[in-house]
Amino acid sequence: MSPQVLIDCQVATMIPQPENPLGMIRDAAIVWQGEQLHWVGRRCDLPPQWTNAQLHEAAGAWVTPGLIDCHTHLVWGGSRSQEFRLRLNGASYEEIARAGGGIISTVRATRAASDSELQEAALKRLDSLLAEGVTTVEIKSGYGLEAETEAKCLRVARNLAKVREVSICTTFLGAHALAPEFVNQPDAYIDTVLSMLSELYNEGLVDAVDVFCERIGFSLAQTERVFKAARNLNLPIKLHAEQLSDSHGAALAARYGALSCDHLEWLNEESARAMSQAGTVAVLLPGAYYFLRETRVPPVDLLRAQGIPIALSTDCNPGSSPCNSLLLMLSMGCTLFRLTPEEALTGVTRHAARALGCIDRGILQTGARSDLALWDIDHPSDLCYVFGQHTCRGTLYGGAWRATSTLKV
Ligand code: DI6
Ligand code: FE
């Protein structure tokens, strides 16, 4: 594959510099060969060895790293629109879950769905993300709660990367809710989770492990059992933590060196300190906050004071965030959580990469993956400012223009 050069573009490298937190370069050039970036800088500094490389003109587009959606539950069957109605009439998310609806109703529909039904539904969601310049997506299991369906969902997730140009990271979330076969026996269910984990790991279906640690999810002790098993397999961990209450999950996750703790509306100061020391990323999910009509915002000032990297994600799922738009999360992250546009953009690139343990993406520099998104905007912060607009002009995935989004100039 011969070297390629993109010119007539402006770049947000996402490598912060003093007075330039997005690492912006005007009138830039980007050189890549295959899946790797070879050079990023001002066009006037382009080394002569690249001046004869194959040229692509971007007609003034802004270029960012391909976006990264680092927390989704993209593969599920059925719909929860009926539950949405109940909530609009006053029922709470927790009440519905306790009455056997919520996650468990999606589990029933997901168990009943075929591989191809699941794939077809997931592809529609994925295609919306891809049209917005997303090039890496994390997908959690957790709507099977038994070995066969957990495996089915993770295989569907893996397969998405074969039928679309996208990187998929899979996370095993067997401890998402108590399986209906184990009512009043959560510890026995955790035994099953541990055996599922080793089976799915042996099948090569698991990149990371997650738990829903919450009063309607799993206790600290149960969460720790899953973390220990993950550690024995050398798998990184993540945690749904302090979404509906302060369950002290984030501090536990930090002790296990978690890649990320996600949600965090109820995070306390001590747990934040533990996250900071462990280098754990805080993944904020404004879609769930919005859709559940929560009123408690995550403690963004505390995260800043502790120097905790902040990521943003859709949490795409049928119950608390039926949303396929990462760009909308940029807007909501700023408007609802008071993130700065720079923080929000870093949250869907550099910090999202870190939340997945992917060090080769989320920034534009020599050696990084050649995943680029091109935008029809005047300034990167426009990606946070406008909402509901299609501004992605094209995407380069692993060095090739993505078929679904050829450059429109
Ligand atoms: N927290 C969430 O926001 C999602 N899972 C979780 O543990 C919601 C999943 C659902 O309601 O289907
Ligand atoms: Fe989630």
Cα–Cα distance list, 369 to 274, 304, 407 (Å): 31, 28, 19
Kindly give the number of the ligand 1 atom that is closest to the alpha carbon of 240: 7
Which residues are registered as beta bridge partners of 33? 36
CA pair distance 55, 234, nearest whole angstrom: 43
Total residues belonging to the chain:
409
Write the residue with the smallest CA distance to atom 9 of ligand 1.
Answer: 319
User: Probe ligand 1: pick from 72, 73, 141, max atoms within 8 Å of CB?
Assistant: 73
Look at ligand 1, atom 7, and give the residue with the nearest C-alpha: 212
Ion ligand 2 residues within 5 Å by Cβ = 315
Determine which residue's CA is closest to atom 11 belonging to ligand 1: 319
Look at 151 and 407; give whichever has higher pLDDT: 151
Count other C-beta atoms under 10 Å from residue 143's C-beta.
31
Please give the distance, rounded to the nearest whole angstrom, from the Cα atom of residue 203 to the centre of ligand 1: 25
Confidence of residue 51 (pLDDT cuts 50, 70, 90): confident
102 CB less than 6 Å from ligand 1?
A: yes
Which homologous superfamily does the CATH classification assign to the domain defined by 67-356? Answer: Metal-dependent hydrolases (3.20.20.140)
Q: If you average pLDDT over residues 17-42, what whole number do you get?
A: 97
- First and final CA of the chain: distance in angstroms? 24
What residue ranges in 166-277 does DSSP mark as E strands? 167-175, 208-211, 238-241, 260-263
Write out the two tokens for 329. 């999360």
Closest CA to 298 of 354, 255, 343, 342: 343
Pick the residue whose CA is nearest to atom 6 on ligand 1.
Answer: 212
Quickly tell me which residue has 């929560």 as its tokens.
294
User: What's the 46 CA to ligand 2 centre distance in angstroms?
Assistant: 43
Closest residue by Cα to atom 3, ligand 1, is 320
pLDDT tens profile 81-137:
999 999 999 999 989 988 888 999 999 999 999 999 999 999 999 999 999 999 999
Closest protein CA for atom 10 of ligand 1: 319
Q: Looking at this protein, which amino acid is placed at residue 34?
A: G
Cα 319 to ligand 2 centre (Å): 10
Q: Is the CB of 342 under 6 A from ligand 1?
A: no
Residue 104 Cα to ligand 2 middle (Å): 14
Q: Which CATH number fits domain 4-66+363-403: 3.40.50.300, 2.30.40.10, 1.10.3720.10, 2.120.10.60?
A: 2.30.40.10
Is there a common fold for 4-66+363-403 and 67-356? Answer: no
Q: Would you place residue 404 in the very low, low, confident or very high pLDDT band (cuts 50, 70, 90)?
A: low
pLDDT, tens digit, 9 for 90 and up, residues 334-379:
999 999 999 999 999 999 999 999 999 999 999 999 999 999 999 9
Confidence at 46, pLDDT banded by 50, 70, 90: very high
User: Does any ligand 1 atom lie closer than 6 A to the CB of residue 71?
Assistant: no
Q: Say if ligand 1 is within 6 A of residue 140 CB.
A: no
Q: Is the pLDDT of residue 405 over 90?
A: no
Q: Output b/e per residue, 265-304; b: 16+ Cβ within 10 A.
A: bbbbeebbbbbbebebbbbbbbbbbbbbebeeebbbebbe
Instruction: Give distance in angstroms: CA of 320 to centre of ligand 1.
Output: 6
Tokens, residue 375: 């935008």
Q: How far apart are CA 109 and CA 79, in angstroms?
A: 8
Q: Which ligand 1 atom is at minimum distance from the Cα of 214?
A: 7
Instruction: Output the pLDDT for position 303.
Output: 98
Would you list the domain boundaries of the chain? 4-66+363-403, 67-356
Please check the confidence at residue 294 and state whether its pLDDT lies above 90. Answer: yes
- Burial (CB count within 10 angstroms: exposed 0-12, middle 13-18, buried 19+), residue 340: middle
The residue with tokens 């997506």 is 137
